């Protein structure tokens, strides 16, 4: 920086001469001399006037939101939200939520758009609602809402936004009487629900955002390199959850599947990836394809815990369920493979696979190589019932016997 006004050509510290310029030899030169430095002058011309002219005449500027705005507009019209201000809001919301961070901390909020908030009690039942703010700016309200509400939008609390004319109200709500494993979406985006027009927006996997409605067909936006996507991430998660509870007690099977589905769905978000394997019921031993693992003793019987929660006798059942949720999340975030038994039991985590094929041993350090090893075991039909993979770049797959 200039140290005194005497360093400037006119003896005054004017706005045009606030910093030193540097010549070709990297030594500071006074601004008055800079115009007589050919190399420096050419650099300024090349980076300034000449480069700007090339940008204006030949380059194209493409905003990603313009590529999917028409699809968002079509979806909202189908869902009963035809206002252009809502299209602008939703387009900005999709762009913000695909990788939402505050100071490099990732958040995974779930947002519900309502056409009216008044009938929510009659549709959802007992619930809590907290207003966080109002806005008249459709282009800015998405970021404003996320900044205030995303850190609070956890498994229980969801964000809501409702437009009344040109004013947006946004905040948080939570259902208080939902069955175990159920979320507000089970009620609100059900196609038989007609009291409120609803759109639910959620990031359901890395680089994948889903828009659901009680009146429109679901849209999924994939921001990944894989252009050949035919299955929803939710379908793949549901398949592995179903395989993990196939032999669970019949009275616990359905809500255990819902609970495990939600646990896996939330557990893989923001993780570096996940591998899951399901072994047949009937033994506490791991198949020989696993060379190492952390094995809780005794194995965690999820069906027993959830049955106790469904028929509570005190506070202990609720605390057991909370502990189970934390345990599953930690297991899914660990390196290696999480192993379930098909009767709804967590058998191991941080497991690693080693499979011999054609005289070559393939070790399971890299996820996709480990998954290929698990797939062969599943297709063999003896040691594994199913396997699932979710990579950090958003790719998912499930294989079943």
Distance CA 288, CA 353 (A): 9
Look up residue 210 and give its DSSP letter.
E
Structure confidence at residue 176 (pLDDT): 83
Structure confidence at residue 41 (pLDDT): 39
Pairing of strands 337-341, 273-279: parallel
pLDDT single digits (tens) 31-50:
444 444 444 333 433 444 44
Compare 391 and 53 and report the one with higher pLDDT.
391
If DSSP codes are grouped into helix, strand and coil, which group holds residue 277?
Answer: strand
Structure confidence at residue 5 (pLDDT): 44
Quote the tokens at residue 371. 């998954």
Q: Which region among 69-73, 140-144, 182-186 has the lowest average model confidence (pLDDT)?
A: 182-186
Structure confidence at residue 155 (pLDDT): 78
Quote the tokens at residue 21. 């310029």
Structure confidence at residue 268 (pLDDT): 82
Structure confidence at residue 318 (pLDDT): 63
Average pLDDT over residues 303-327: 72
Nearest to 163 by CA among 81, 77, 65, 73: 81
Positive or negative: CA dihedral 332, 353, 240, 348:
negative
CATH dotted code for 64-222? 3.40.1700
Return the CATH number of 233-400, one of 3.40.50.620, 3.40.1700.10, 3.10.450.50, 3.40.30.10: 3.40.1700.10
Strand partners, 298: none
Average pLDDT over residues 53-76: 79
Domain boundaries, the chain: 5-58, 64-222, 233-400
Task: With cut-offs at 50, 70 and 90, classify the pLDDT of residue 364.
Answer: very low
pLDDT single digits (tens) 114-136:
999 989 999 998 999 999 999 99
pLDDT single digits (tens) 199-213:
999 988 777 899 999
Residue 17 has pLDDT above 80, yes or no: no
User: Long-range contacts for 201-204 (Cβ within 8 Å, ≥24 apart)?
Assistant: 201/90, 201/93, 201/94, 201/97, 201/110, 201/111, 201/112, 201/113, 202/108, 202/110, 202/111, 203/97, 203/98, 203/100, 203/108, 203/269, 204/232, 204/233, 204/234, 204/265
Nearest to 311 by CA among 321, 296, 301: 321
Task: With cut-offs at 50, 70 and 90, classify the pLDDT of residue 18.
Answer: very low
Distance CA 99, CA 320 (A): 33
Task: With cut-offs at 50, 70 and 90, classify the pLDDT of residue 229.
Answer: low
Structure confidence at residue 311 (pLDDT): 59
Residue 21 has pLDDT above 50, yes or no: no
Residue 299 has pLDDT above 70, yes or no: yes
Count CB atoms within 10 A of the CB of residue 268: 26
Distance CA 364, CA 273 (A): 14
Task: With cut-offs at 50, 70 and 90, classify the pLDDT of residue 386.
Answer: very high
Structure confidence at residue 151 (pLDDT): 95
Structure confidence at residue 42 (pLDDT): 38
Distance CA 374, CA 268 (A): 19
Burial class from Cβ neighbours inside 10 Å (0-12, 13-18, 19+) for residue 175 reads buried
Task: Tell me the pLDDT of the chain averaged across its residues.
Answer: 81
- Quote the pTM value: 0.73
Domain 64-222 and domain 233-400, same fold? Reply is: yes
Quote the tokens at residue 378. 């599943």
Distance CA 40, CA 24 (A): 6
């Amino acid at each position: 920086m200039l140290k005194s006004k005497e360093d400037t050509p006119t003896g005054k510290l004017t706005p045009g001469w606030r910093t030193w310029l540097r010549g070709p030899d990297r030594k500071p030169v006074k601004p008055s001399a800079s115009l007589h430095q050919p190399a420096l002058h050419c650099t300024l011309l090349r980076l300034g006037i000449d480069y700007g002219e090339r940008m204006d005449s030949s380059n194209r500027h493409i905003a990603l939101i313009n590529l999917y705005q028409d699809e968002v507009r079509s979806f909202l019209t189908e869902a009963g939200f035809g206002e252009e201000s809502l299209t602008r809001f939703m387009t900005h919301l999709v762009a913000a939520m695909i990788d939402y961070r505050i100071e490099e901390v990732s958040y995974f909020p779930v947002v519900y758009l309502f056409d009216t908030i008044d009938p929510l009690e009659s549709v959802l039942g007992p619930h809590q609602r907290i207003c966080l703010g109002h806005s008249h700016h459709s282009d800015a309200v998405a970021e404003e809402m996320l900044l205030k509400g995303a850190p609070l939008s956890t498994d229980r609390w969801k964000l809501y936004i409702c437009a009344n004319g040109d004013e947006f109200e946004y905040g948080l709500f939570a259902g208080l009487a939902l069955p175990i494993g159920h979320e507000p979406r089970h009620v609100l985006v059900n196609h038989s629900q007609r009291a409120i027009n609803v759109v639910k927006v959620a990031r359901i996997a890395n680089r994948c955002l889903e828009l659901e409605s009680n009146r429109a067909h679901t849209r999924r936006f994939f921001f990944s390199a894989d252009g050949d996507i035919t299955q929803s991430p939710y379908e793949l998660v549901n398949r592995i959850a179903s395989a993990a509870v196939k032999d669970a007690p019949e009275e616990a099977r359905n809500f255990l599947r819902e609970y495990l589905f939600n646990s896996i769905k939330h557990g893989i978000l923001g993780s570096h990836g996940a591998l899951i394997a399901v072994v047949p019921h009937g033994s506490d031993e791991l198949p020989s394809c696993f060379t190492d693992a952390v094995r809780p003793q005794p194995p965690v019987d999820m069906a027993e815990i959830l049955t106790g929660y469904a028929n509570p006798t005190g506070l202990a059942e609720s605390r057991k369920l909370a502990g189970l949720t934390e345990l599953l999340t930690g297991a899914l975030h660990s390196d290696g493979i999480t192993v379930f038994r098909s009767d709804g039991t967590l058998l191991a985590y941080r497991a690693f696979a080693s499979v011999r094929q054609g005289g070559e041993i393939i070790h399971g350090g890299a996820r996709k190589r480990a998954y290929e090893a698990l797939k062969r075991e599943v297709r063999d039909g003896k040691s594994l019932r199913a396997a699932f993979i979710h990579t950090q770049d958003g790719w998912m797959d499930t294989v079943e016997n």
